[in-house]
Structure 1
Amino acid sequence: MAQGSSLALASMLGKQYMTIQTAKTVVFWYLVLCRFVRVVRHLRARGLITAAREAYLVLVRKGFACMLLLPSVRNKVQGELDQVTLDLAGKLAPKYPDAPTFTALPETGLASNDVTAALAKLSDLPRTEWEGGRVSGAVYHGGKDMGDIWREAFGRFEVSNPLHADVFPGVRKMDAEVVSMCLSLYNAPLPASAIDDGGAGTTTSGGTESILMACKAYRDRARAEFGITEPEMIVPKSVHAAFDKAAMYFGIKIHHIPVDRKTRKVQIAKVRRAINVNTILLVGSAPNFPDGAIDDISALSDLAVKHRIGLHVDCCLGSFLVPFLERAGFPTVPFDFRVPGVTSISCDTHKYGFSPKGSSCIMYRSKQIRKYQYSVTTTWPGGVYATPSMSGSRPGALIAGAWASLVHMGIDGYTQSCRDIVGAAKRIAHGVKKDFPELYVLGDPLVSVVAFGSKTEGQGNGKGCLPIYEVGDRMSKAGWHLNALQDPPALHIACTRLTVTAVDDFLRDLRVAVDEVKALEEPGKGSMVMLYGLGTGSAVGGQLIGEMASRYMDVVCIDLYPPCITVQHT
């Protein structure tokens, strides 16, 4: 009997062991299957060639990192980067002997007239002259009258903060009206009352925050409503870098889809192939920053509706130009909430809306999406804390400035500014196509951006070749501040109201720059050539550019603490 009990016990233990082993095997193969599915989705979205190239770059960068472990290599690379950093510091953060400098609080505070004098000296420091229209984008000037209106708004609402809506009702009202005016401009379905669903939005500090808020809303919505814990979004390669920032901040996998080489629009077939069960968002631009192309929003809409996913249209750059194209007599394409699959739009009021810097708007088709943008904490000892966007306190003066700018310009004012600015861009594009056989215009720009590249780029160096970055450096010497583009190498100018009167000067100076570069015996060594040429010269170029970009930020945010400069009192 004892022997039978032992056999029964052994049999039971054997079954339990087999059960454990079976469970382990099931878990193992489940994990293998999950990894396999991820790889298949990744390859489907990226394509074999792109995936192989990405893997190659990862291996090369890891190899380069290993090489940096060798003291001789590390010291040489560090020495080169240190010299570049010193050169950047000399250009961006030079010493200004006559300017007031404070690296610690003064023992005795300055009198108000001394502060005024110090501010005057700082405002007179040498800078890029933007007033003549030689700067691409950057300064979206609304004219002297607009500056006077800003100062009036700032003065009346200088201490206001929309976080305290009951204390500053005027700011709350203007905040809501700025959003409502933008929703109306982009043809959102407006709710009949505060309890009805419909178009909704919030103001933000700029286009990047508007994009971040949209991505955060879609991520949280996907988790709450669809159980998606590994979210992915699909964006054109030409989309604004803020989407990459959102992917880093919010843990969203991002797929960059190539654009058509001719039209510069995202390739819809590849967007379709990249969609899977974890996709939470498609993105299009109207227009994009690099070359001013407007993606095929209608085709993206069809995909968004079919797969029941969000579609965000980035109109930060188009802002108060794209909605006015038709009124101003220019061709346009569908881009706003009238396209059924569009669920959100970002629009910068501080660009072509001519509002003070630090002003943008994120809009949604439905309040049911916007609610996922909010941050709400109910267990804080200080009370219930809820904010609509990244910031807690916000400067009500900027909201007042945005509201004043919008109501001052009106439909007629924005229509005329669109006519002037887009007209200037079209004159530049036409001039490049007509008088510069060495250059070509990227895509078919419909709005304010014109990008152009060299037809002989990559055909060797020397006389007759036209490296476009060298043209950019020559234009810089002539006083122009243009943007350098990558993939393909190109330059662009984003036209503003200031550009309208500078078109002829631009085309004249561009002709001179092109002719000078064509006559060069050897490639130049300007800053644009050195920086962007490095990125295309080797597989580790991008890694070195990344390090240089970090050092650039260190220079811009230059650290003076512990104090290294003597405190000067004015």
Structure 2
Amino acid sequence: MVLSKTASETDVSVHSTFASRYVRTSLPRFKMPENSIPKEAAYQIINDELMLDGNPRLNLASFVTTWMEPECDKLIMDSINKNYVDMDEYPVTTELQNRCVNMIAHLFNAPLGESEAAVGVGTVGSSEAIMLAGLAFKRKWQNKRKAEGKPYDKPNIVTGANVQVCWEKFARYFEVDLKEVKLREGYYVMDPVKAVEMVDENTICVAAILGSTLNGEFEDVKLLNDLLIEKNKETGWDTPIHVDAASGGFIAPFLYPELEWDFRLPLVKSINVSGHKYGLVYAGIGWVIWRSKEDLPEELIFHINYLGADQPTFTLNFSKGSSQVIAQYYQLIRLGYEGYRNVMENCHENAIVLKEGLEKTGRFNIVSKDSGVPLVAFSLKDNKRHDEFEISEMLRRFGWIVPAYTMPADAQHITVLRVVIREDFSRTLAERLVIDIQKVLHELDTLPAKVNAKLAMAEEEEAKSGTVVKKTAIETQREVAAFWKKYVSERKTNKNKIC
């Protein structure tokens, strides 16, 4: 009696994905496939390809949250199928968003009564929040100019050259001239004095950054406010301030409560903050808060009723998930003021540990400040033999993703590496990163001898041919970098060596 049988070709239920034909064919890149595949195979082959992505927890380039508690993960998954825009169908979710707006507005010292509702909205991030705030400023300025019978076709906005790219997008998309205050070596944020000098009658607002992307530094919003008040008195203008607190909005209230940067300053009319940065929520949530109803023109608010009830809406998109709004509310009530303060203090202390570890190597200049966003921006004291881009590339071998970049205009000759300290970056990881950076430096120190030898040979060949051309320092540095990159490439292709 036969108790077993051989599986037929069509009996796919007993096949392992790796024993099936699905791993022998390339994944579609341009056209949808004609035939279906089993769900297990689809999951396996996609998951396998995703293994080539970097580890989010070791992505030190990003300010965005990469870890949340399992209980919040469950809330997110339980609500992942809710469309936030269906407010009549999901009234509790709408209520949770309103609670978040109120809590954040009070955190930013909005002039509200004890039970007065704040004016604000949840967005998919600070980029959308900035677009909305900018539109409100532009419309208010246009309305005022129209009422005065003055031209309203050339609005401008004043920012520092260190602003995030979303400000450039706003200016280009909505036809606003972007006037940037240039940076200089050693001063990588907007100078309030120069910013106020650039303000004219067509300026819809001055944008200050609470936590520069480049080095984490807070701009002096208080000084900007005071200088702008004086200029407004002299000119009769009423130029307002927007604070881009994408990174610093959930840091300053807990680490620097006495710092005046928010609605305590009379010219601050709106503030944006990223819930998915130090608001401690996964990517996909931002907030914009207005000082009062008067600061958000009513004509920008749409009212719709085709989802079952009258619903006011002021967004650039329509449908979006509810899960991140719910996750933000979870964090606000789960951590409270005490919890957020503890998290921010931990981040700050671990940033100091990393900074001190880098200083002890004697090889780096620290570009960031001890106060501000908890990050460490640093550059090589001597980059003649190797540069920051090489360090960034070699750290990838250890799993670390550390960006290297040049500063904006007028400081572009400065190249820095930046490590963002998030909630899940421990002291142990900070110490390990310093060790790995030292390993990279040690290895780089062994490379220039080979590179210089090749350069010497090349120069000797040029001398023999009588075509010697004196090179500048930057040309020599570029040749060194080119030789180094070629050397690394050769090592990678050598099967007997590991790189």
Fold shared, TM-score > 0.5 on shorter chain: yes
Gapped regions of structure 2 (runs ≥ 5): 1-21, 147-151, 233-237, 408-413, 453-473, 476-499
Question: How far is the alpha carbon of 1:178 from its aligned partner?
Answer: 1.2
Aligned counterparts of 1:349 and 1:220: Cα–Cα separation in 2? 26
Choose from 127, 146, 152 the match for 2:75: 152
Secondary structure of 1:452's aligned partner: strand
Secondary structure of 2:339's aligned partner: helix
The change in CA–CA distance for 1:492 and 1:250 in structure 2 (over 3 A counts) is same
Aligned counterparts of 1:372 and 1:259: Cα–Cα separation in 2? 37
Secondary structure of 2:173's aligned partner: helix
Secondary structure of 2:319's aligned partner: coil
Question: How far is the alpha carbon of 1:193 from its aligned partner?
Answer: 6.2
The answer to whether 1:209 aligns with 2:128 is yes
1:177 matched residue in structure 2: 99
The change in CA–CA distance for 1:363 and 1:192 in structure 2 (over 3 A counts) is same
The answer to whether 1:426 aligns with 2:356 is no
Secondary structure of 2:297's aligned partner: helix
The change in CA–CA distance for 1:158 and 1:469 in structure 2 (over 3 A counts) is closer
2:52 matched residue in structure 1: 127
The answer to whether 1:484 aligns with 2:404 is yes
Aligned counterparts of 1:100 and 1:350: Cα–Cα separation in 2? 32
Would the aligned equivalents of 1:161 and 1:395 in 2 still touch at CA under 8 Å?
A: yes
Amino acid at match of 2:369: D
2:431 matched residue in structure 1: 504
2:137 matched residue in structure 1: 218
The change in CA–CA distance for 1:203 and 1:132 in structure 2 (over 3 A counts) is closer
1:534 matched residue in structure 2: none
Structure with the larger helix share: 1
Would the aligned equivalents of 2:87 and 2:311 in 1 still touch at CA under 8 Å?
A: no
Choose from 382, 403, 406 the match for 2:332: 406
User: Matches of residues 403-552 of structure 1 in structure 2 within 5 Å?
Assistant: 403-433=329-359, 435-446=360-371, 447-457=373-383, 461=384, 465-487=385-407, 488-500=414-426, 501-521=428-448, 522=451
Aligned counterparts of 1:199 and 1:383: Cα–Cα separation in 2? 22
Would the aligned equivalents of 2:155 and 2:203 in 1 still touch at CA under 8 Å?
A: yes
2:491 matched residue in structure 1: none
Structure 1 stretch 511-520 or stretch 347-356: which is displaced more? 511-520
Amino acid at match of 2:199: I
1:30 matched residue in structure 2: none
Question: How far is the alpha carbon of 1:437 from its aligned partner?
Answer: 2.6
The answer to whether 1:352 aligns with 2:275 is no
Question: How far is the alpha carbon of 1:347 from its aligned partner?
Answer: 0.8
Aligned counterparts of 1:279 and 1:498: Cα–Cα separation in 2? 41
Amino acid at match of 1:151: K
Aligned counterparts of 1:96 and 1:503: Cα–Cα separation in 2? 40
The answer to whether 1:141 aligns with 2:80 is no
Aligned counterparts of 1:373 and 1:285: Cα–Cα separation in 2? 28
2:109 matched residue in structure 1: 187
Amino acid at match of 2:242: H
Question: How far is the alpha carbon of 1:358 from its aligned partner?
Answer: 0.8
Secondary structure of 1:353's aligned partner: coil
Aligned residues: 410
Aligned counterparts of 1:322 and 1:128: Cα–Cα separation in 2? 33
The answer to whether 1:298 aligns with 2:222 is yes
Task: Kindly provide the CA deviation profile for residues 49-96 of structure 1, in whole angstroms up to 9, marking residues without a partner as x.
Answer: xxxxxxxxxxxxxxxxxxxxxxxxxxxxxxxxxxxxxxxxxxxxxx98
Secondary structure of 1:256's aligned partner: strand
Task: Kindly provide the CA deviation profile for residues 188-244 of structure 1, in whole angstroms up to 9, marking residues without a partner as x.
Answer: 1125666xxx85211000111111111111111111123432111111111111100
Question: How far is the alpha carbon of 1:105 from its aligned partner?
Answer: 5.3
Secondary structure of 2:214's aligned partner: coil
1:312 matched residue in structure 2: 242
Aligned counterparts of 2:57 and 2:97: Cα–Cα separation in 1? 33
The change in CA–CA distance for 1:121 and 1:250 in structure 2 (over 3 A counts) is same
Secondary structure of 1:506's aligned partner: helix
Amino acid at match of 2:88: D
2:167 matched residue in structure 1: 243
1:366 matched residue in structure 2: 292
The change in CA–CA distance for 1:339 and 1:117 in structure 2 (over 3 A counts) is farther
1:164 matched residue in structure 2: 86
Would the aligned equivalents of 1:178 and 1:403 in 2 still touch at CA under 8 Å?
A: yes
The change in CA–CA distance for 1:497 and 1:123 in structure 2 (over 3 A counts) is farther
Would the aligned equivalents of 1:450 and 1:494 in 2 still touch at CA under 8 Å?
A: yes
Aligned counterparts of 2:438 and 2:206: Cα–Cα separation in 1? 40
Aligned counterparts of 1:97 and 1:340: Cα–Cα separation in 2? 65
1:8 matched residue in structure 2: none
Secondary structure of 1:346's aligned partner: strand
Secondary structure of 2:268's aligned partner: coil
Question: How far is the alpha carbon of 1:489 from its aligned partner?
Answer: 1.1
Would the aligned equivalents of 2:262 and 2:268 in 1 still touch at CA under 8 Å?
A: yes
Secondary structure of 1:247's aligned partner: helix
Structure 1 stretch 315-324 or stretch 421-430: which is displaced more? 315-324
Would the aligned equivalents of 1:238 and 1:259 in 2 still touch at CA under 8 Å?
A: yes
TM-score, structure 2 length as denominator? 0.74
Question: How far is the alpha carbon of 1:247 from its aligned partner?
Answer: 0.5
Question: How far is the alpha carbon of 1:316 from its aligned partner?
Answer: 0.9
Task: Kindly provide the CA deviation profile for residues 520-567 of structure 1, in whole angstroms up to 9, marking residues without a partner as x.
Answer: 3249xxxxxxxxxxxxx89xxxxxxxxxxxxxxxxxxxxxxxxxxxxx
Secondary structure of 2:302's aligned partner: strand
The answer to whether 1:285 aligns with 2:209 is yes
Question: How far is the alpha carbon of 1:153 from its aligned partner?
Answer: 4.2
Aligned counterparts of 1:230 and 1:188: Cα–Cα separation in 2? 31
Would the aligned equivalents of 2:189 and 2:212 in 1 still touch at CA under 8 Å?
A: no
Amino acid at match of 1:185: L
The change in CA–CA distance for 1:138 and 1:286 in structure 2 (over 3 A counts) is closer
Amino acid at match of 2:160: P
Aligned counterparts of 1:490 and 1:496: Cα–Cα separation in 2? 19
Would the aligned equivalents of 1:263 and 1:293 in 2 still touch at CA under 8 Å?
A: no
Aligned counterparts of 1:453 and 1:374: Cα–Cα separation in 2? 45
Gapped regions of structure 1 (runs ≥ 5): 1-94, 524-536, 539-570
Secondary structure of 1:476's aligned partner: helix
2:199 matched residue in structure 1: 275
Amino acid at match of 2:267: G
Amino acid at match of 1:207: S
